[in-house]
Amino acid sequence: MIRQEVQEEAELIVHEGGEIPEVAFWNAWFYLTEKPPQGLGLVLEKEEELVLRQAVIRRYLLIIQRDLTPEYIGKSFYRGPVRARVNWQRLCKFLKKHALSPDGYREKIRGLVRDFLARLSPDHPLREPALHLEKDLEGEV
């Protein structure tokens, strides 16, 4: 059973985790596990640790999806395929560090890239960086 405090921290990671979700992960971790008055002093169960890790993954996927959405081009929050590539690499490092496989996520991102490319004109300047990301997705992490 996942305690409410852990679930709330996971939701914060997903929805307010910023551009580097690991920072939010460690903030949540220390808040949950640090002894009072700095934290709650919880001993996290394996399932609860996994919920926090999955929140980081979900946050990365949302960020990457944002940056591979053509409708967002020109908006202040849009970072583009170059940043999506950086976040894919960060996600892969996070997965490796926690002994998780990138394969299912690789397929999801590959689909986002293909959709992104299909919706851009052949001469659009963002095609080249998106193609670099697509090439990264073919390689080993």
- Computed over every residue of the chain, the mean pLDDT equals 96
In the predicted structure, residue 141 carries a pLDDT above the cut 80:
no
pTM for the full model? 0.93
According to DSSP, residue 125 is labeled T
Tens digits of residue pLDDT in 30-87: 999 999 999 999 999 999 999 999 999 999 999 999 999 999 999 999 999 999 999 9
15: tokens are 């929805």
Which domain range does residue 59 map to?
Answer: 4-138
pLDDT reported for residue 86 = 97
Q: For the chain, how many structural domains are there in total?
A: 1
Rounded alpha-carbon distances, angstroms, from residue 34 to 24, 81, 98: 15, 38, 21
- Per-position b or e across 103-114, b if 16+ CB within 10 A of its CB: eebbeebeebbe
pLDDT reported for residue 107 = 95
pLDDT reported for residue 140 = 57
Contact (CB, 8 A) for 45 and 33: no
The pLDDT-based confidence of 139 (bands split at 50, 70, 90) is: confident
In the predicted structure, residue 118 carries a pLDDT above the cut 60:
yes
pLDDT, mean of residues 15-32 = 96
The pLDDT-based confidence of 123 (bands split at 50, 70, 90) is: very high
